[in-house]
A and B are shown apart, each in its own frame.
Chain A
Amino acid sequence: TMPAYLNHQQKVLWRYKRDLFRDQYRFFACLLRAHFDEKRYGESNQAVDAGEEEFWDRQHPQPYIFPDSTGSTSYERYDCYKVPEWALDLLPPSEKAMYPDYFKVIQQIQEESPVDGPWTEALSPAHKKGTCLLYGGIM
């Protein structure tokens, strides 16, 4: 991911950066690892939440997102490139097993709705009120 062309200053700094900033990066990476070990963020769900909260406080106000990535300007612009929902049925069982809660809710919805599609806009009981299907119905 090099830029279009490098001028002389960039060529000089490139070599400098390769040596200098890698050290700095490793330094901060080690600091962050020590911080995580101390607060024990990886150990339980509450700790993960606490870690998320700290990230939320410290995050960048406008992080750079690539144009085609989620949440950026060029994402999902054309309908023809979106994968439809029935493609999820084609996943092999080993991959479906990686998301058990999500597929359980999907199966419940399919059992409770009529065969030829829903007739009204009312949600089936499998949709718990206030839950978001995105996280498998947990949140």
Chain B
Amino acid sequence: MHNTIFFSSMLSTLFIIILPAMKSMLNKTPPTPNKMKQAVQLAFMISLIPLLLFINNGMEATLTNFSLLSINNFNIKLSFMLDSYSLMFMPIALFVTWSILEFSLWYMALDPHITRFFKYLLTFLLAMLTLVTANSLFQFFIGWEGVGIMSFLLIGWWFSRADANSSALQAIIYNRIGDIGLILMISWSAMNLSTWQINDLFSLDTSHMIPSIGLILAATGKSAQFGLHPWLPAAMEGPTPVSALLHSSTMVVAGIFLLIRLHPTLEKHQLLLTMCLCLGAITTVFTAICALTQNDIKKIIAFSTSSQLGLMMVTIGLNQPQLAFFHISTHAFFKAMLFLCSGSIIHSLANEQDIRMMGGVKNYLPITSSCLTIGSLALMGTPFLSGFYSKDTIIETMNNSHLNAWALSMTILATMLTAAYSLRMVFYVQMNSPRHKALSPINENSKTLINPITRLALGSLVAGLLIMTATLPSKTLLMTMPTMMKLLALIITILGIIITMDTMNWTTTLPMKTPNFNFYLSNQLLFFNIFHRSLPMKALKFSQSMATMTNDLLWSEKAGPKGMTMMQLPMTNLASSQKSLMKNYLTTFIITTLLTMILLT
């Protein structure tokens, strides 16, 4: 029984997404963008079923449908591997895509080709899910190329711009260089192992380095590691929903996902693992330094994505694929949310993307700026938000491993820089007074804007905890370590915040000559000031604000008009559940009465 539900829900998830994307090919009018968003929402709900089955009784499966080609002993089959990685990634990808499609209803509302935009996003999603669930390397390659092509079409959405066209070409060409590695791997395994099934690959002898080098090259190209990274910041030419979906949560993690999937072939070569480690370390620190100097808000977040991808590569180099996957999952939530918040700000300020001309956004876009702050805190690894569980664990594992010290120090430096550029972005965008022109009233009154952002905020608050408690670790956890090692990530982040705030203050204020210690001794080290003045004043002000707020909230609102509404509305809603569908009511009445009569006799 579990089998049936499992497989049927998995396949129907994929089928639900194929339908809207293909309707236009069948010469029918394509569904409205709202319907496409609802399709993805439905697919997300359904994909939770296999996930819950997996969490409940650890059910993983491989589904092989039919052979596409079979020559002697070489078969290419259409097969889906539904292991922990794909079962966990599918709902996350669908959740993020649902939120982004709903956001696109607001962001691309004035675009004349919005239906085509949604169709492209759905096709991309389909290719991504093919990539994630592929058991056969051929199928994986189909998904890999599919996401590359859709990335090209979506980055060059505004094809009138020369820069957009060149960025789309850049994405394709850099990905192509990575594809050389993937094709190397595929052809090597076809020639030497005569199979393309991933679960067969693990049981065969892959002690050659060639396929693994090909895999690393593929990941370097697709996941924008150092050397093949320029396409990712250039890809910000596309609309913000594209950046949120492709270039932060789903497509760029495809390279890392490949390395995670084929990890058993990679972990036999310590040299290649160390290469991954160093490549990831240099990526993360280089792109974090670049992010610190950017003035375009989307580029800051793009470089931040690249930095986190470097961190994922570092985790692969530490021989911890599950931890890398955990970071992919949590990163999807808060990075997509950061992009959506930036899209909300950009659209409200009439396409202004330069943070030097933004400011004071917290006053008139409160929800967006709160979610921007939550996303930045999750990115920095604030304790008990979602980013903490994955990022902190990675840094702890790094600290306690026997590895390249340079890679370790670069990663720690990058953690400090993450705090620095996140803080810089938050301060420039939200704080102080506005530096942009006075525009028509800036608001966030649209439900299609607020719901996705708050949904992703909820995800980035709890996803880390949920995923951690629901999955069993495949490698033994570190139970004990020195206190300093445990706290290092937190200390580094706080240090980064303090240094950034200091540096920013130095540029705007003149240094005051603070009195020396003897002066303070003559004031009993401010004992009187603190305990007689400031603490009581704080307590009194706090109690006053609490009292007035509670007064307002309770007696002026809840006990009066709002309370009355709260009581009356549910009753009215309940009592008016009739929808006057007389025919349907009569039909069901007649059918059920007839059935009862037949069954009773």
Contact = CB atoms under 8 A, between A and B. Distances in A.
Interface of A: 1-7, 10, 61-62, 64, 67-68, 73-79, 82
Contacts of B158: 77-78
B351 A3 contact: no
Given A4-B437, A5-B434, 12 more contacts: A3-B359, A4-B442, A5-B433, A10-B433, A61-B293, A64-B356, A68-B351, A75-B161, A76-B161, A77-B161, A78-B158, A79-B159
Interface in B106-146: none
Contacts of A7: 433
B160 A74 contact: no
B435 interface: yes
B351 A4 contact: no
A117 B381 CA distance: 61
B35 interface: no
Contact of B436 (A4, A10, A74): A4
23 contacts: A3-B359, A3-B435, A3-B437, A4-B360, A4-B439, A5-B434, A6-B433, A61-B293, A62-B294, A64-B295, A64-B354, A64-B356, A67-B350, A67-B352, A73-B237, A74-B351, A76-B160, A77-B158, A77-B160, A77-B161, A79-B159, A79-B160, A82-B160
Interface residues of B, number: 27
Interface in B189-217: none
B539 interface: no
Contacts of A76: 160-162
B187 interface: no
B241 to A, nearest CB: 15
A5 B438 CA distance: 7
B271 interface: no
Contacts of A62: 293-295
Of the listed residues B161, B294, B357, B439, the one surrounded by the most CB atoms of chain A closer than 10 A to its CB is B161
Contacts of A73: 237, 296, 351, 353
B287 to A, nearest CB: 17
Nearest to B353: A73
A3 B358 CA distance: 10
A80 to B, nearest CB: 9
Contacts of B442: 4
Contacts of B162: 76
Nearest to B161: A76
Nearest to B349: A67
A78 B353 CA distance: 18
A1 B160 CA distance: 29
A30 to B, nearest CB: 27
A3 B161 contact: no
A7 to B, nearest CB: 6
A51 to B, nearest CB: 27
B351 A67 contact: yes
A67 B353 CA distance: 8
B350 A3 contact: no
Q: Which 4 A-B pairs have the closest CB atoms?
A: A77-B158, A74-B351, A79-B160, A67-B351
A2 B160 contact: no
A30 B266 CA distance: 66
Interface in B281-332: 293-296
Contacts of A10: 433
Contacts of B433: 3, 5-7, 10
Nearest to B442: A4
A64 B439 contact: no
A14 B158 CA distance: 40
Interface in B427-455: 433-439, 442
A95 to B, nearest CB: 25
A62 B434 CA distance: 20
Given A4-B436, A4-B439, A6-B433, A64 B160 contact: no
Contacts of A1: 437
Interface centre among A10, A64, A73 (most CB of B within 10 A): A73
Nearest to A71: B163
A4 B438 contact: yes
Contact of B434 (A3, A67, A68, A77): A3
Contacts of B350: 67
A97 B194 CA distance: 71
B351 A2 contact: no
A59 to B, nearest CB: 15
Interface string B535-570: 000000000000000000000000000000000000
Contacts of B352: 67
A78 B438 contact: no
B437 A2 contact: yes
Contacts of A3: 359, 433-438
A3 B439 CA distance: 9
Interface in B50-106: none
A74 B158 CA distance: 10
Contacts of B237: 73
B92 to A, nearest CB: 30
Contacts of A2: 437-438
Nearest to B237: A73
A17 to B, nearest CB: 14
Contacts of B435: 3
Contacts of A4: 360, 434, 436-439, 442
Nearest to B364: A4
A2 B437 CA distance: 6
Contacts of B295: 62, 64
A84 to B, nearest CB: 12
A18 B360 CA distance: 23
Contacts of A61: 293
A61 B357 CA distance: 16
Nearest to B239: A77
Contacts of A82: 160
A73 B164 CA distance: 9
A133 B393 CA distance: 57
